[in-house]
Structure 1
């Protein structure tokens, strides 16, 4: 049996509202439109080509199972999210540029084929399957343009070469010579709306490169491996939902923790923990606007209900993330089930108080001033934590079983109080110091007494257990050991 492409064969492109995964054989196998959390129109990543793909490649490389589809070179153009793929064939060489222009309107995927040497026969085969690969759309021609419609979705594919519908595949066969270029632009819009304007692919390329160049110029990091740091920051920025400031933990769902396993979760939501880690990296490299946008998102998401703090919310702050399975998708490498939504949204994970407050603290240190609304939210979060920190919870690993007293959760509760104290001492927050000092000491004493194994000289996963936990390796980073060792 032929294996599907490996996850590491995919490159990410995106427009800070959604993203696509482009395989090194020229196939887009994952794309949700119009948002990260929308149903996928290409879901081949979690199934087969019949579940939705869009491949552009030399004709000799069109069969991904023939063993000759890998590109000779692949990279991002400069400090951008424009992906370059180069093929060298017996008759010539060709480059494909894949990108999604940052937008304030309709989402677009732009693919520009450029001839570099000789002549190369090329193919484009777009197999749209909305509804996570479950729906075969109505493909037809409108004023010389190809459109695939299904329910609320319409996908318009524009190019200068001939397109035909072959059994649900919008196909083109063309030859590109040195110095020539052929552009394909896929635009999503509501099916009831008027046809979108035909985009200028070259202008979109210039605007996309200019955006990323401008954004990366704000990076203040000047240490070792700067190129790798900037590339990582670009990926983090790509996972930010720009209209709201929410940050997805990942732009995909159901990629398995292990091949054949069942821990296949939907990560297209904003975990408070993951977003906090992302913002720490952005703040540490000079990016404050993202922290300000996320703070506004946080205020809207938590709203007037900090006593019922969730561990995660939708990218626009929604709370209903009901989990369900998609039985028609076999899963990546057969790793079923495929899930959308996430039932962990209703779990209690006390560590998120620490992550959120740590981020607010880092934002203050980076020059993002506390606003009055944030101060009220911060105080109510600490007051709620003071009432609940002794409860068992599901912990960082989202265990779907009996709650326990996880050491990492208790340590992060300590972090929440410690960072609050620092903000009070700095004059950035108006709260009574004495109760905070006492609470911090109480949490510290309990963790050291019940969460540490003196025989093995190690922190354990939970109170009274013998299990170890990788999450406890974060303890030195948050400053907890300063008191433990004193």
Structure 2
């Protein structure tokens, strides 16, 4: 039976991530980076595609789980008729240590445990050679295939068919450690680690980071967890911010809308940067701006909408047949063909985020402003070019209204940098084109009945239009925005959840999709700032109820089945949650009495 997406918790060392099911199985792990080939790929197939299960032998064992406060140390508490025990799962934060620690702690009585591991490297295309390398008091197996090797230390593992299995009893006061460590296959096997010291450092590192979050109100815990998710998706060495930890989890169950999100979209990273800045994490602004300078170095005409974690440019999309897909949803894709698209809004998101960094006190440098000027110069050259839009439509390009508004926003930020902050630039050219962008939207992007349209050649609306007041193109209570929201409520909210758009063929794909969680969080902001606070509060409560038991959100939600859908955890969903909660907090009515 396929494990629901919402049953997964994520572990992270800020270089890669693992997904652990509520039943104690690691079903997704890519080492050493988020975008490496999977060694556990059961998420997109079954246990035969790689998994590591650790749980009581009692099939009636009952589990509850939580993260250790402010960390990504996952604690799963198991209760059986014979005792209580916990499994503490973590990926060590230490640099140079690519590992997964699973510690079983006896709380009361005794409990029989089984650990069963199946290694399947490179998206289940390689079954490694496995051999025992430990001794009587230090059991270990070594698995090697191609460039990868892993050592698994812990209770003695015995080969059973194509798996390795260990059985033991944990009693109160006792702990049993299993540690999986990755290393290049041509080097000596990774050395053993001090588990006590490693868990202590990892817990303290996450707790210190989370302890700087200032969040209050009804959703404070989810805001903190969401900011932690954004940090978990930010590579500690390169500064690249990936959109999600997974690939090919379906937007529509059984469908073809399955994409690889383990890359750095300039848009999503810029929006994440804004959330960091709003909550005081200015070092993230420095690091991401440096990443951006490296990634887009060269001819501005070659700027891409996304890059690899270290700034790689080649992300060819291809299908992987070795993994059958989540509950059979095909194809499984690695790479992303949208890398070759033109999306006119991206430079706008980058310029908005970098202005926010400047306003927060991140000092502009000669190189950083030169970068922004180069981006604006390229935007000038591309001004009359239609695009594929924020949602990466695979149909014909259009003049998307949201994209044109973000072109306006990019030029507006450039003008403000010159006029307000004393920087240099072609302000007359930028001002003329900024005014043209506004005039284009006013004349071609507004329906006769008063709402903004998805693009200049349609009567449809699109949830991305909710971004217009967020970047200052218009007021939240502008009559056109109010009409746009009313039209969205009529056409994009059949179940009370906001769709991105109606899938009527403009995106070039077959089938439908489920409501996109970020869009509904944007609607919370819109309701909040346009005098509909009661609607905002009600929608926010419904949205936050969708988060799983450890506070994680995927990309979409199926209200019919009550299931999360799409890649997980999704940065855009979590940063939109933070923005919605911040909006509710800013406009919160004063306490009476």
TM-score range with shorter-chain normalisation? over 0.9
Q: Which residue of 1 aligns with 2:489?
A: none
Are residues 1:148 and 2:139 paired? Answer: no
1:347 aligns with 2:341: yes
Cα distance in 1 for partners of 2:432, 2:393 equals 31
Question: Which residue of the other structure, out of 78, 81, 98, is the alignment partner of 2:89?
Answer: 98
Q: 1: CA distance between counterparts of 2:422 and 2:231?
A: 28
Query: Secondary structure at 2:58's aligned position in 1?
Result: helix
Q: Distance in 1 between matches of 2:208 and 2:458?
A: 51
Selected match of 2:21 from 20, 23, 32? 23
Unaligned runs of 5+ in 1: 62-67
Q: Distance in 2 between matches of 1:16 and 1:302?
A: 23
SS at match of 2:343: coil
Q: How many residues align?
A: 475
Tell me whether 162-171 or 148-157 shows the greater mean CA deviation: 162-171
Which of the residues 129, 135, 144 maps onto 2:126?
135
Whether 1:158 aligns to 2:149 is no
User: Equivalences for 1:450-465 in 2 at 5 Å?
Assistant: 450-455=444-449, 457-465=450-458
Distance 1:120 1:479 in 2: 59
Q: Does 1:446 align with 2:440?
A: yes
1:75 and 2:66 correspond: yes
What's the counterpart of residue 47 of structure 1?
Answer: 45
Aligned residue in 1 for 2:106: 115
8 Å CA contact 2:70–2:211 kept in 1: the answer is no
For 1:325 and 1:387, how far apart are their aligned partners in 2? 35
Distance 1:143 1:220 in 2: 47
Hey, what's the Cα distance between the residues in 1 that align with 2:311 and 2:384? 28
Instruction: Please state which structure has a larger fraction of its residues in strand.
Output: 1
8 Å contact 1:29–1:54 — kept in the other structure?
yes
Alignment of 1:308-387 (within 5 A): 308-387=302-381
* Superposition RMSD in Å: 1.5
Check if 1:246 corresponds to 2:240: yes
Q: Is 1:35 equivalent to 2:26 in the alignment?
A: no
Q: Is the Cα–Cα contact under 8 Å of residues 221 and 286 in structure 1 kept in the other structure? A: no
Question: Quick one: distance in 1 between partners of 2:89 and 2:475?
Answer: 49
Q: How far apart are the structure 2 equivalents of 1:165 and 1:200?
A: 26
| Shift in CA distance, 428/192, structure 1 to aligned 2, threshold 3 Å | farther
Pairwise CA distance, 1:222: 4.7
CA-CA distance at 1:220 after TM superposition: 3.9
TM-score (norm. length: structure 2):
0.78
Tell me the residue number matched to 1:481. 474
Map Cα deviations across residues 155-184 of structure 1 (whole Å, 9 max, x no partner).
Answer: 10111x222122232211000011111011
8 A Cα contact 2:7 2:21, kept in partner: yes
Deviations 1:11-51 (A, max 9, x none): 00010000000000000000001111100000000001100
| Corresponding residue of 2:76 | 85
Matched, 1:217 2:211: yes
- Name the structure 2 match of 1:233: 227
Where 2:87 maps in the other structure, the secondary structure is strand
- The question of whether the paired residues in 2 share the 8 Å contact of 1:4 and 1:333 is answered with yes
Q: 1:181 aligns with which of 175, 178, 188?
A: 175
Matched residues in 2 for 1:30 and 1:192: separation? Answer: 24
How far is 1:289 from its partner?
A: 1.1
Kept after mapping to 2: 8 A contact 1:44/1:133:
no
Matched ranges for 1:296-311 at <5 A: 296-311=290-305
1:433 paired residue among 398, 403, 427: 427
Shift of 1:225: 2.8
Q: Deviation of residue 434 (structure 1)?
A: 2.7
C-alpha contact (below 8 Å) 2:352/2:471 kept by paired residues: no
Secondary structure of the residue aligned to 1:81 is: coil
Of 161-170 and 290-299, the range deviating more from structure 2: 161-170
Give the equivalent residue in structure 1 for 2:12: 14
Structure 1 residue 218, shift from structure 2 partner: 2.6
Which structure would you say has the larger RCO, counting Cα contacts within 8 Å and 6 or more residues apart?
A: 2
SS at match of 1:240: coil
**Residue 139 of structure 1 contacts residue 165 of structure 1 at CA under 8 Å; is this kept in 2?**
no
